[in-house]
C-alpha cells in the first residue's frame, strides 16, 4: 500500500508497475510455487527469473546488474513478494548490503552481479543450536593457518543453506567474532535440508563446516569485526521482514474477503455481519499503521538518519498486523480455511516463521524498550 512512498510521483509510477508485474508473476506461476512450497523445494528457476526481471538486486548498482535502488524500492518488492507468495529475495538483499558495505573490490567482482541477478544463491550462516538470539554462545571457530583460515562449526536454521553457492559464515577468531564469504563447494562442507513450517520456498538447512580452509581474502570486514558486519544488515533485515509480513497480511485479508463476500450464510453473506466487519476494519487499520511506520523508516534511511528504532518499530507493528489479518482471514472463511495446504494455513505458517527469523518479537520489544528508556534517561535500569 505504501501510504507515504506513493506521495512521491517519481516512485509512484515504479511502485505501480512493480506491483502489477509481481502480481502477474504470482498468477502465472501459482501452481509451481505451491508445489515447491509444499514439497519443501527451492524453485531455482523461478528465483533466477525474478533475478532476470531485476527483483533480486534492489540495492546493487546498475553496473553490477542490480536495480540501483534504495531501501524504499526494496520494501516495495518485499511486500509484493509476501502478498503474492513468491520466492523471497531477503537473504540476497542482505548479502548485497554486506558486500556493498564491507566487500573488497575482488569480493564484489566475484559475487555481487551473480547475487543481484539470481545466478548466485547467497545464504547467511549465523545461528547455531545453542546460539540464536545471543552471539556470545557461538561455538564455531576460525583459526589461522599460514595465510589461510580454518573454520569449524555447525549452523542451524540456515535459509538456502543447502541451495546456496556462497554463504556468509560467522565464527569466533582469537580476536573475536569474524565473518567469511565461503564458496559452498569447498571440501569439508556438509548440508542437511530441514523442514520449517513456513517460508519453505527458501527452505532451511543445517550447515556443517569441518576444518574448511579459506584464504584470508575470503574474510569480510575486519578480524574481530563480526558484530559490525552483522549490524550493517540489521535494518535491511527488519524492513524486509516487516514488508513481507505486511504483504502476507494483505494477502490473507484479500483472499478472505473475496471468499466471504460471496459466501451465503442465512439471509446474506459473511461480510454482512457487523462482528466480521469490525475484524476487517481492525486488521486493515493495523496494516495501515505498520505500512506507515515501514515507509517512515525507509524514507529516513534514504535521508541517512539513524533508523534502528524506526525499523524495529516497523517490524513490531507488522507482526501484530499480520497476525491480526491472518486471524481475520480464518473468521472470514470458517472451516474452508482450516485444512493443510490452503493459502490461509500457508500464510499463517509464513507469518509464524517471520516472527522469529531475523530477530524474534521479544528481541524487537527489548530493543524498543532499551531505546525508549535510554531516551528517557533511564539507561541501565532495563
Ligand X SMILES: Cc1cc2nc3c(=O)[nH]c(=O)nc-3n(C[C@H](O)[C@H](O)[C@H](O)COP(=O)(O)OP(=O)(O)OC[C@H]3O[C@@H](n4cnc5c(N)ncnc54)[C@H](O)[C@@H]3O)c2cc1C
225's grid cell: 569485526
- 254 near ligand X, rule: CB under 6 A: no
CA–CA gap between residue 269 and residue 276 (Å, rounded) = 11
* E runs forming strands in 237-355: 264-265, 268-269
- Which is closer to ligand X, CB of 132 or CB of 334? 132
3-state secondary structure of 83: helix
Spatial separation of the C-alpha atoms in residues 172 and 305, rounded to whole Å: 31
Closer Cβ to ligand X, 157 or 310, answer by number? 157
Least separation, in Å, of the C-beta of 157 and ligand X? 3
Q: Does 204 bind ligand X (CB under 6 A)?
A: yes
Q: Rule CB under 6 A: choose which of 6, 308, 356, 373 binds ligand X.
A: 356
Instruction: Report helix, strand or coil for 320.
Output: helix
Q: Could you say which of 228, 232, 342, 360 contacts ligand X (CB under 6 A)?
A: 360
376: number of Cβ within 10 Å: 9
Q: Which residue is nearest to ligand X (CB)?
A: 132
Q: If binding means CB under 6 A, how many residues of this protein chain bind ligand X?
A: 19
Binds ligand X (CB under 6 A): choice among 152, 232, 288, 366: 366
Of 220, 122, 121, residue with least CA distance to 177: 220
164's CB contacts (< 8 A; 6+ apart) are: 121, 122, 123, 184
40 binds ligand X (CB under 6 A): no
Q: How far is the CB of 211 from ligand X (least distance, A)?
A: 21
Q: What is the rounded CA–CA span in Å between residue 11 and residue 376?
A: 36
Minimum distance, C-beta of residue 319 to ligand X, in the bound complex (Å): 12
Nearer to ligand X, 157 or 250 (CB): 157
Candidate list 227, 300, 363, 368; residue touching ligand X; CB under 6 A: 363
94 binds ligand X (CB under 6 A): no
Residue 98-127 contact track with ligand X, rule CB under 6 A, x = bound: --------------------------xxxx
Residue 199 binds to ligand X (criterion: CB under 6 A):
yes
Q: Is 350 in the site for ligand X (CB under 6 A)?
A: no
C-alpha cell at 83: 502478498
The DSSP secondary structure of 29-94, one letter per residue, reads HHHHHHHHHHHT---HHHHHHHHHTT-S-TTS-GGGTS----HHHHHHHHHHHHHHT----HHHHH
Let me know the angle formed at the C-alpha of 122 by 153 and 302, rounded to the nearest 5 degrees. 115
Minimal distance, residue 311 CB to ligand X, in Å: 16
Shortest separation between residue 159's beta carbon and ligand X, angstroms: 4
Residues that bind ligand X (CB under 6 A): 124-127, 132-133, 157-159, 196, 199, 204, 353, 356-357, 360, 362-363, 366
Amino acid at each position: 500500500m505504501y501510504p507515504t512512498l506513493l506521495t512521491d510521483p517519481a516512485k509512484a509510477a515504479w511502485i505501480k508497475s512493480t506491483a502489477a508485474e509481481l502480481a502477474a508473476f504470482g498468477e502465472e506461476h501459482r501452481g509451481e510455487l505451491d508445489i515447491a512450497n509444499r514439497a519443501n523445494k527451492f524453485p531455482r528457476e523461478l528465483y533466477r527469473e525474478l533475478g532476470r526481471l531485476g527483483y533480486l538486486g534492489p540495492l546493487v548498482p546498475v553496473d553490477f546488474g542490480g536495480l540501483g535502488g534504495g531501501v524504499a524500492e526494496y520494501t516495495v518488492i518485499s511486500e509484493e513478494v509476501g502478498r503474492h507468495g513468491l520466492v523471497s529475495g531477503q537473504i540476497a538483499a542482505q548479502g548485497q548490503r554486506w558486500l556493498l558495505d564491507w566487500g573488497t573490490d575482488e569480493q564484489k567482482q566475484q559475487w555481487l552481479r551473480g547475487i543481484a541477478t539470481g545466478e548466485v544463491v547467497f545464504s547467511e550462516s549465523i545461528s547455531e543450536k545453542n546460539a540464536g538470539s545471543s552471539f556470545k554462545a557461538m561455538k564455531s571457530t576460525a583459526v589461522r593457518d599460514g595465510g589461510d583460515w580454518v573454520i569449524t562449526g555447525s549452523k542451524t536454521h540456515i535459509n538456502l543453506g543447502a541451495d546456496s553457492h556462497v554463504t556468509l559464515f560467522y565464527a569466533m577468531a582469537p580476536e573475536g567474532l569474524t565473518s567469511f564469504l565461503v564458496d559452498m563447494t569447498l571440501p569439508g562442507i556438509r548440508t542437511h535440508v530441514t523442514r520449517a513450517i513456513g517460508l519453505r520456498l527458501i527452505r532451511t538447512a543445517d550447515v556443517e563446516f569441518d576444518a574448511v580452509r579459506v584464504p584470508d581474502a575470503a574474510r569480510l570486514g575486519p578480524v574481530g569485526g563480526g558484530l559490525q558486519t552483522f549490524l550493517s544488515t540489521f535494518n535491511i533485515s527488519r524492513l524486509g521482514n516487516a514488508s513481507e509480513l505486511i504483504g502476507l497480511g494483505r494477502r490473507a485479508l484479500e483472499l478472505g474477503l473475496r471468499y466471504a463476500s460471496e459466501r451465503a450464510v442465512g439471509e446474506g453473506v459473511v461480510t454482512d455481519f457487523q462482528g466480521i466487519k469490525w475484524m476487517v476494519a481492525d486488521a486493515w487499520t493495523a496494516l495501515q499503521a505498520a505500512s506507515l511506520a515501514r515507509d517512515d523508516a525507509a524514507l529516513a534511511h534514504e535521508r541517512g538518519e539513524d533508523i534502528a528504532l524506526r525499523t524495529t518499530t516497523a517490524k513490531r507493528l507488522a507482526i501484530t498486523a499480520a497476525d491480526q489479518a491472518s486471524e481475520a482471514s480464518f473468521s472470514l472463511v470458517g472451516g474452508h480455511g482450516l485444512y493443510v495446504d490452503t493459502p490461509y494455513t500457508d500464510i499463517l505458517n509464513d507469518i509464524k516463521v517471520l516472527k522469529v527469523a531475523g530477530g524474534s518479537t521479544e528481541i524487537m520489544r527489548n530493543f524498543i524498550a532499551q531505546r525508549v528508556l535510554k531516551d528517557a534517561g533511564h539507561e541501565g535500569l532495563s
